């Protein structure tokens, strides 16, 4: 087998996922939160593809394609929400959007 072992790929995937998760948790701008989500999804995609190669079949790759489709749809909805927020002249800050508080 050529190149580094699967562990390296998984390490990079975990790093990407962690970065994304930290971004979602810590950033307040919804645009950045969405961006961090994308990073998380791509981290998991990387892990899927690495395993696909490792096992030598295409299942993981197909799954990664499905995740991409979901990510694209999610971005459409998310960006739409952000545009709508902007039009209403609401603050672009997720901490201020807390009307669902119990």
Residue 93: CB atoms within 10 A of its CB come to 12
Residues that bind another protein (CB under 8 A): 21, 24-26, 33, 94-95, 97-102
Among residues 24 and 82, whose Cβ is nearest to another protein?
A: 24
- Cβ–Cβ under 8 Å, residues 47 and 13: yes
Among residues 65 and 81, whose Cβ is nearest to another protein?
A: 81
For the chain, where are the alpha helices, taking DSSP H only?
A: 6-26, 30-55, 59-87
Question: Least separation, in Å, of the C-beta of 102 and another protein?
Answer: 3
Question: Least separation, in Å, of the C-beta of 64 and another protein?
Answer: 20
């Amino acid at each position: 087998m050529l190149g580094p072992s699967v562990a390296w790929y998984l390490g990079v995937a975990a790093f990407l996922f962690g970065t994304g998760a930290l971004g979602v948790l810590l950033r307040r701008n919804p645009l950045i939160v969405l961006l961090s989500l994308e990073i998380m999804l791509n981290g998991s995609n990387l892990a899927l593809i690495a395993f696909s190669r490792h096992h030598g079949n295409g299942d993981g790759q197909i799954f990664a394609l499905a995740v991409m489709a979901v990510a694209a749809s999610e971005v459409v909805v998310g960006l739409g929400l952000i545009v709508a927020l902007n039009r209403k002249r609401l603050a672009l800050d997720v901490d201020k959007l807390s009307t669902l508080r119990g």
